[in-house]
Amino acid sequence: MKRTFTTTTFALALLGVAACKGGGGDAVKLIPEAATMVGGVDMKGLVGSKAYTDNKAMLEQGEAKEFMDAATACNLGTDKWKSATFGMDPTKEQFAFVVNADGIGKDENLNCVAGKIKEKNGGTDPWKLEDKDGKKQLTMEGAKGEVGYVVNENTLVVTSKDWAASVKELIDGKGKSAFDGALKDVIGRADTSKHIWFAGTLPAEFTKEGPAAGAKDVAGDVDLSSGLGVRASVGFASADDAKKKATELQTQFDGMKGAATGMGVPQTAVDSVKIEAKDAAVHVSASISNDDMKKVQETVMKGMM
């Protein structure tokens, strides 16, 4: 199966990142203001979590395993990775993501990974590494204009064609990033120190009806330090709208509790669910321990046999 530069590097970002809390420090400043959704991953904590190690065999297989093996062989194993930060506008297929890893910007490592990918995709170079417009650039083979910019030896930014100019400006310390623009307040509702976090506005087509009717934006985070903890907040036009939606969701959830426990969801996990309105947002949180997660997995597996 032929790998494109974007697919391969995005897989690298999500599967091989390892450490920096807060989505990558200064890396967040390289996401353009045009992003409507942003987020970050702390893969050191993720890969070191019990939830991950318990499911490692399932998660690290197929193409993911092939790429991780290639990265390790090219001095870019998980012990080198630090952070991944992403931004996108899903309605326009525009994106940018920043990968921080020791040596990710070195020619020998990038060329080594390209060679490994080339062996797997029939002899086609996945990208060209060249100096262009004063910057070291990765141009993807057969791309829609997507490019990668080597910021320094430890930082690589990949972006869609439409955002390339904005990303270049941000690398040069110019322009305005998503973290200083319209998303600043929404991002403030997410805990960026968690293993995974996200924040952004919601497309209108997703908020016309159903549970998200009337919603404006969403922020949240996932904590894997002890089992699984999830928090999300959904913003509405007013505090009254948020209060009404929280009451509606609570009523719906109360009607589902019996069915959930009947399907094997532990009572403690069901009881952990909290729904409340605060200001103009509905906040939802839930958690489950590692032991209870394992019980749920066992129940699901039995049901599939």
> Do 20 and 42 form a contact (C-beta atoms < 8 A)?
yes
> How do the pLDDT tens digits run along the chain, 305 residues long?
344 444 444 444 433 332 233 334 467 789 999 999 999 988 777 777 888 777 777 777 777 777 788 888 999 988 888 888 999 998 888 999 998 889 999 999 999 988 988 887 777 888 889 888 788 999 887 668 889 999 999 999 999 999 999 999 999 999 999 988 889 999 999 999 999 999 999 988 888 887 788 999 999 999 998 889 999 999 999 999 999 999 999 999 999 998 988 888 899 999 999 999 999 999 999 999 988 888 887 776 666 65
> Do 282 and 234 form a contact (C-beta atoms < 8 A)?
yes
> Do 195 and 46 form a contact (C-beta atoms < 8 A)?
yes
Tokens of 170: 């941000």
What are the tens digits of pLDDT across the range 7-42? 444 444 433 332 233 334 467 789 999 999 999 988
The Cα–Cα gap between 158 and 165 comes to 12
- At position 63, the amino acid (one-letter code) is E
SS3 163: helix
DSSP, res 284? E
The Cα–Cα gap between 258 and 295 comes to 18
Going by C-beta distance under 8 Å and a sequence separation of 6 or more, which residues neighbour residue 104?
76, 80, 110, 153, 154, 155, 156
DSSP, res 3? P
The Cα–Cα gap between 28 and 26 comes to 5
Hey, CA dihedral for 76, 95, 205, 191, is it positive or negative?
positive
The domain spans of the chain are: 5-180, 202-304
Tokens of 255: 């009607």
> Do 117 and 70 form a contact (C-beta atoms < 8 A)?
yes
- At position 161, the amino acid (one-letter code) is K
